Amino acid sequence: MQATHVTAAATTTPPPASSVPAASGAPAAAPQRALLELTKIVKTFHTDDLETRALSNVELAIAKGEFISISGPSGSGKSTLLAILGLLDVPSGGEYRIAGEDTAKLDSVRRAALRNRSIGFIFQAFNLIGDLTVEENVELPLTYRGMPAAERKRRVASALDGVRMAHRARHLPAQLSGGQQQRVAVARAVAGDPLILLADEPTGNLDSKNGDAVMELLEQMHAKGATICMVTHNDDYARKATRVVHLFDGRVVEDRRG
């Protein structure tokens, strides 16, 4: 029998986890259930006789209206965590609830429906469909919901207006700059009025000017009440979030509010 080896992304001792001090001088507010709750989440990948643990006992609760940045070195588990949050992958162990619903009890059809209804994605590579116009790209996820055409058109127009791309509605992605394509991707993510926006390195393919513009857009959306969870390697952008979660070797080693 071949021996199974467990590997981790790095062996350096992680910094100690920091605690978030409780507020004082005011009555405690009644606890509000988080929109997203991760409890003792584990994710393990298997290849031949090698076992790689990407996440280890991750505990994370995201409340309505928070703007969370997830940071950490390469291989720390950031993308794996975001994939689980977005129902694009399933944990090997632990519990994940969205608005109180245990996602482990959902079949593939119900998972897809919950993902479409509750989660808006903003990807580093934009992921726009090249032969669809800007407005068709934004409308596509709403079509999968079976939403009436008039309601789809209203939401698309509102979303594009919100990211200042209404004047490009009939253009194809190839006719847009990188910054404009990411604005369209943001419009697509928010058109369905999701519970949370998940942004995976949303500025990673942009120059500093366009990156700053996209971050400003996310900050504006958060100010209007949007709940956002963003993965980024950029420390300056991470500090724009109201809460920073730092991963190391698949574990949460810091969770602070700024």
Question: Residue for token digits 């500093």?
Answer: 208
- Could you tell me where the DSSP H helices lie in 145-251? 149-162, 178-191, 208-223, 235-238
How many residues belong to the chain?
Answer: 258
pLDDT at 49: 81
CA distance 145 to 142: 5
Site of tokens 């419009």:
187
Q: CA-CA distance, 105 to 83, in Å (whole number)?
A: 18
**Closest by CA position to 199, among listed 235, 173, 230:** 230
- The pTM for the full model equals 0.81
Dmax over CA atoms of the chain, in Å, equals: 64
* Domains (range + CATH), the chain: 33-257 (3.40.50.300)
Q: How many CB atoms lie within 10 A of CB 75?
A: 17
194-215 tens-digit pLDDT: 999 999 999 998 999 999 999 9
Buried b (16+ CB within 10 A) or exposed e, 52-66: bbbbbebebebeeeb
Edge-to-edge, what's the strand order for the sheet holding 67-71? 119-122, 196-200, 228-231, 67-71, 243-248, 251-257
Under-50 pLDDT residues of the chain: 1-31
